A and B are shown apart, each in its own frame.
Chain A
Amino acid sequence: MNLEPTMKQSVIRRSVRKFAEDKLAPVTAEMERTGKFPWEIARQMSRLQYFGLEIPSEYGGAGLDSVSCAMVIEEISRVNAAVGLCLSVHNSVSAYPIYRFGNECHKERFLYPLASGEKIGTFCLTEPNAGSDASSLETTGVRDGDEFVLNGNKIFVTNGGISGINLVFAVTPGAGNSKRFNVFVAESERDGLEKGPPEELMGMRGNPICPISFHDCRVPLDNLLGEEGEGLKIALSTLSGGRLGIAAQSLGIAQASLDTSLKYAKERHQFGRPICEFGAIQAFLADMGTRVEAARLLVYRASFLKDQCVDHVKESAMAKLFASELAVDAARMGLQIHGGYGYTKAYPIERFYRDAKVCEIYEGTSEIQRMIISRSLMRQ
């Protein structure tokens, strides 16, 4: 059982880490302060194909395997989780479904701008009354001649404020009570598509997560992704992929918490010694370190299975569940290690604490992940 990354994967990790430390880290404080999305960094990242991780190079992407993609998200998130979120969502739930389920026309119109970073993508799923219960959504896509008309309200759309291309999960009512789920592509400039102001959130500052509402928003028939009625299948498969991205993001936050706590514990002296010599601190570090190692194995094994085209629904859910809960715990332990200084904005740990919490919620709550895992276990 070979658990080591390949030569290529090691180089990818190192080059993304270098970019994150040299270019992304310096703008993070500013981003936290202003809440503004760092367009200049995004431009640099698009030139390096960070917006087309899984997309083959003939469509302008990098064509990486899943393990490498997870490494990119992890390394970026380690420095800046909000940008890591942007990349994860853009890549796994916006660009990838178009590649997987789109026809050549879709790929030409949408995939190239997404993979090249020219346009940023979203997946509009959640609604005021449809969170975990996605199938109770109310947004409709009704056929009218050679167009579909979209009506409804989507909320908590990651990348919403900066997106150019939006995948919209909607229901097409049919005869009687039947309904079919569909995924439509709605370009941001379409009439009837309205973006609300970004939410004021606990963390992930700089990623403009906003509501997008549709009022008789018309899109051509060609903008339907896949076959009519395939929407649920597309959505479920997409979310499964997105799960791994968030798992990698959570791992990045946990690793960052561990790294910064180790550094602080060695430098901070109390009672005449560095605090890393005290058992209580050592216990925190040991717990954080062990669980980060475990999360790492879960995330990369699930990614590896995906590369092998082996079913990995359970493994992805486990990775997301474990890594997101770890991110929250690691940030909490890390902040405790930092003591009073950790509560100030002079140290990054309080940002990790605020950023981590949403990882247990979005892209499938921990409760949903537990449901998925237990069902998978019970089927065995």
Chain B
Amino acid sequence: MNRMETSKPIGGVWVFGDYRNYFQNRVTLQLIAKGKELAGKLDTKITVILLGEQIHQFAMEYVAHGADVVMAAEHPELKEYDVETYATVLSRWVEAFKPEILLAGATSFGREFFPRLAKRLRTGLSADCVELEMDPESCLLIQTTPAFGGDLLADVVTPNHRPQMATVHPGVFRELPHNAEAVGRIVYPDVGPLPDPRVRVVRSRRQRTRNVNVEDAPVVIAGGRGLGSKRSFDMLFELAELLEGEVGATRPAILAGWAEEERLLGQTGKTVKAKLVISIGTSGALQYTTGIQGAETVIAINRDPHAPIFRIADLGLIGDATVLVPMLLEALRKRL
């Protein structure tokens, strides 16, 4: 059993450097920022782990975005993401340097790699966290994850096992701005002998995505099942065009066939950091609102005054979207 040593941990706060799909995938930068804050409270450093080939460019990026230390390994056998190989290297380093906290983005890879690593290290792991805080009394990391399909949040702690591990939902934390003057150490610990991979990727190609980029749109018009029909939902496209934004959708709306999967917002979809989200006909289930709560301003339109969406909206309009949206479109057409 892995029990916590009472001496001060050497390794501090570690973040797994998930660099695939950089520059769109910015979760590592987001975790560096949050990790830096946690490290500050623990009076220790934020370290990023980087395994691969030709990863120096990423090391520089991570330092520029706030990493104190980058522990890197350049090795041809690390070129491809591989769960068992990476688990071998990282578990060796963890056992050698004993970090207090180990974080990764909840990407597909992070979510299949970290559980294996946690099991090898015999420690706990929470999945797809939406909040991370240090408990001031116990000094434990409070890992907050959605529970029961998202209506409730569970605060999870790892009292006696180390490191405290979590995968984190992308888009929850804000990255620090790029700072070319930032200073950090890049070290190259030994990786040790590497196992032969037992899973061989024989073909890999990018999934063709239609040019739907909801995550970066400054204005997002999000539609839910409350719109009632595809015809009503389609009004949102004109609204988005008028406001120079993009259309997003909740899972029920996508299941009804009103929008493509690429437009899905929320826990299993995209997280937006838009200036404005107008959420129309959405009830406000947590699986959805995690996707939009990072926006600067949220306006919600819903017929039901008790809809949970109004709890996270800056402005809530209690009304029938199928009446209000056409009126809004007409007003905007005149003015824009």
Contact = CB atoms under 8 A, between A and B. Distances in A.
A274 B303 CA distance: 10
A267 interface: yes
A269 interface: yes
A269 B303 CA distance: 9
Nearest to A268: B303
A29 to B, nearest CB: 15
Contacts of A274: 304
Interface string B159-186: 0000000000000000000000000000
Interface residues of A, number: 3
Interface in A73-109: none
B319 to A, nearest CB: 10
Nearest to B320: A269
Interface in A255-272: 267, 269
Interface in A230-271: 267, 269
Interface string B272-316: 000000000000000000000000000000011000000000000
A380 B251 CA distance: 60
A11 to B, nearest CB: 22
Nearest to B303: A269
A204 to B, nearest CB: 29
Contacts of B303: 267, 269
Contacts of A267: 303
Please tell me the size bucket of the interface on B.
under 10
A376 to B, nearest CB: 50
Interface string A272-287: 0010000000000000
Interface string A160-202: 0000000000000000000000000000000000000000000
Contacts of B304: 274
B251 to A, nearest CB: 18
A291 B274 CA distance: 52
Contacts of A269: 303
B301 to A, nearest CB: 14
A274 B304 CA distance: 9
A269 B323 CA distance: 14
Nearest to A266: B304
Interface string B52-89: 00000000000000000000000000000000000000
B79 to A, nearest CB: 45
B74 to A, nearest CB: 53
A267 B304 CA distance: 8
Interface in B246-274: none
B225 to A, nearest CB: 12
Nearest to A273: B305
A274 B307 CA distance: 13
A269 B307 CA distance: 14
B216 to A, nearest CB: 36
Nearest to A274: B304
Nearest to B228: A267
B238 to A, nearest CB: 26
A267 B225 CA distance: 13
A283 to B, nearest CB: 23
B226 to A, nearest CB: 9
A181 B275 CA distance: 83
A347 to B, nearest CB: 13
A274 B320 CA distance: 13
A267 B322 CA distance: 14
B28 to A, nearest CB: 42
A267 B320 CA distance: 11
A140 to B, nearest CB: 58
A268 to B, nearest CB: 10
A274 B318 CA distance: 13
A274 B305 CA distance: 10
A232 B303 CA distance: 60
A298 B304 CA distance: 38
A269 B305 CA distance: 11
A140 B304 CA distance: 65
A130 B284 CA distance: 60
A309 B214 CA distance: 64
Interface string B214-237: 000000000000000000000000
B283 to A, nearest CB: 12
B87 to A, nearest CB: 40
A258 to B, nearest CB: 21
Interface in B85-123: none
A271 to B, nearest CB: 14
Nearest to A269: B303
Interface string A337-372: 000000000000000000000000000000000000
A205 B28 CA distance: 61
A269 B304 CA distance: 9
B178 to A, nearest CB: 49
B302 to A, nearest CB: 12
A125 B78 CA distance: 80
A285 B75 CA distance: 70
A204 B96 CA distance: 75
Nearest to A267: B303
Nearest to B226: A267
A269 to B, nearest CB: 7
B318 to A, nearest CB: 10
Listed from nearest, the 3 A-B pairs whose CB atoms lie closest are A269-B303, A267-B303, A274-B304
3 contacts: A267-B303, A269-B303, A274-B304
Interface of B: 303-304
